[in-house]
Structure 1
Amino acid sequence: MSEQLSTDRVVIVTGAGQGIGRAHALAFAADGASVVVNDYARDAAQAVADEIVAAGGKAVANGADVADWAAGADLVKTAVDEFGGLDTVVNNAGFVRDRMLVSLSEDEWDSVVRVHLKGHFVILRHAAEYWRAQSKAGAQRAARVINTSSGAGIFGSVGQGNYAAAKAGIAELTIQAAAELGGYGIAVNAIAPAARTAMTLGAGDAMAAQMAAPTDGSFDAMDPANISPLVVWLGSAACDVSGRVFEVEGGTITVLDGWQRAASKDKGSRWEPAEVGPAVAALIADSPEPVKAYGAR
């Protein structure tokens, strides 16, 4: 049996009623953590919590709307009241309303950004308040936050402008939080996972075929459980990195290197508009080729 990294740790996993979130909750529990299983579908959260308890683990269910300020505070309080503290938050909750930008409605934009981006902030904010108080009281915890971005948020994805924008915001929120919260013992990282979930299976026949489980007994690269080992490590006291985004799919972990300064040119004085075009062309020629957005031609 491998070493457990999560013994005696208390973990919140949002959006844990199915898919990747469920896999995270089960993995943390199997690794020795006490888990608050959150999902807006309260019955789904309860089913996962019951599964953990039946296997000998510790879990409670929570049906909070992660983007609701008071409900988010109560979610953190639930962890503290039920298990005596909080060590790790896995922000995973989200959903999609895919549409091309020219057809995207205001509600489809607002609802997706609300749940993904605001939902991440709300739980992070209330957890950080608890951890800061612990630190000031001389009881600093090895606190960990794992946010869930997406390749769509890093590279773009045609037909997912609301989702991509929210996931890009989550990646930057991760960098911001890591910079601000490190002094309280809080490490903040993000993942960009690829796995078979209700969202991906609902994205069309081509995506469903790509995500299908193999029938020949070979490694199932799209199994959501493949994502969780990285998340369990990032959520442990053993994690010694912060402010990074990791792409994870199947058995592959990739560090995603975000915005960086590439080629530049200082004229030493103000540019004339007619000079800018040739200068930009030269700078682009000397800079790395950007990754194309998913679905772009």
Structure 2
Amino acid sequence: MYYHDKRLQYPVQVTEPDPAFARMLQQAIGGVEGEIRVCMQYFFQAWGNRAPTTKYRDMLLNTATEEIGHIEMLATAVALNLEKAPAKLQEEGVKDGIVGAVMGGENPRHKIEGLIHKNLLSGGLAAMPVDSDGVPFNMSHIYASGNVAADMYCNVAAESTGRVLAVRLFNAAHDEGMKKMLHYMIARDTMHQQQWLAVIEELGAEPNNLPIPNSFPQDMEDQQNNYNFYVTSLDGSFPEGRWTQGPTPDGKGEFTVFRNEPLGEEPVLGPARPDSGAQAQQIG
């Protein structure tokens, strides 16, 4: 079960409302880098966590619940940037054919098709579970594999791209209240990146966790192709780096370079079946 406090996790204040920035904030709510994504990801990882101890489940539930508070903060920020917009912004908007059509009651269909102001038309000047283009969040990029190490790496990636987005929003913000809110959210993304990396470290650091899943006997995989970098350029050139020579991070092999060439045969499927709906010429 969960508890709610009507106070926000961190202050959200807007002095100069900006409807355009409200739309940008929607990406942090319902975008692939957004807070709904990490919130749901951590919840489903927690609810499916199996281990001798419940500490990872408990940790994930605490952070998932924290992310609900982040969604609430962002939703409040979107509403404040829309609801308190001064009349002069609306008047300037009327000069634009599309905005004027929506806000002024004019209904030339050809002007408003292709640019639907969902926050106005469907949300009543409030936040919605959509990204900055109005595309609904659909849960298709929630990663909860049941493997705690794999999930932690997914979480590091999620918090990394989320922090990139928060930094971009901070740089785009003009309102000091928005900058203050975002500087808090950037800090929380820093913590969460380190938190998931700490779990990986606690599990035994990378050599003990890799390759994932570490429960599969590695001697059952193709020993000729597990640590070689495939070069796919026609002239055989390749970018040299840590991944082309030396010991692998898991300490179980050496990186080598392999110029990619076909190891299999040309696939020939044969004629089509008579009942497959193919052309007569395809049927043998």
**TM-score under structure 1 length normalisation:** 0.24
* TM superposition score normalised by structure 2: 0.25
**Quick one: higher RCO (CA 8 Å, sep 6+), 1 or 2?**
2
Task: Please state which structure has a larger fraction of its residues in strand.
Answer: 1
